[in-house]
Amino acid sequence: MQKYSEGTRSSSIIPKALRCDASKVTLFEKLGEGAFAQVFRAEIDFGSRNGGKKPVAFKQMKESAMTGLEQGALEAELQIQARVSANPNIVKVLGAIDDEGGHGMGLILEL
């Protein structure tokens, strides 16, 4: 189990509506890995007023994938996700964090 610490390196590309407090995310085992990211089973604590803890997937972007072009594409995707309403064919992005201290940029996705 890993706890995240919030950073600011990529936070400028994260729309305000999607920014999450990294300290609320706990990672468990790795579910898979691709060329640009690895995915972990995770949990986010929304607090008792907002539903408490919820199981989620955490897509951790690989540092090697965060070149200018890829970072621009990710920024565009996050901007779209911040405005998209629910659709059963689209995995919902619940939030995004940046852990400058060690793990980089990541997306919090519904499981």
Three-state DSSP string of 25-50? EEEEEEEEECCCEEEEEEEEECCHHH
> Which letter does DSSP use for residue 85 in this model?
P
Tokens of 100: 């400058």
Q: Distance between CA 105 and CA 87 in Å, rounded?
A: 25
Residue 56: its pLDDT value, please? 96
Q: What integer pLDDT is reported at residue 85 of this predicted model?
A: 67
pLDDT digits (tens, 9 = 90+) for 60-111: 888 776 676 677 777 787 778 777 767 788 888 888 888 666 556 888 999 8
For 43, how many CA atoms within 13 A lie in the half-sphere containing its CB?
A: 12
Whether 31 shows a pLDDT value over 80: the answer reads yes
Tell me what percent of the residues of the chain surpass a pLDDT of 70: 77
**Amino acid at site 71:** Q
Residue 41, pLDDT > 90, answer yes
Q: What pLDDT, on a 0 to 100 scale, did the predictor assign at position 7?
A: 41
Mean pLDDT for all residues in the chain = 79
Q: Which residue has better confidence, 58 or 85?
A: 58
Q: Where are the beta strands (DSSP E) in the chain?
A: 2-3, 25-33, 37-45, 53-61, 93-99, 104-110
> If pLDDT is split at 50, 70 and 90, which confidence band does 9 have?
very low
Residue 11 reports pLDDT greater than 60: no
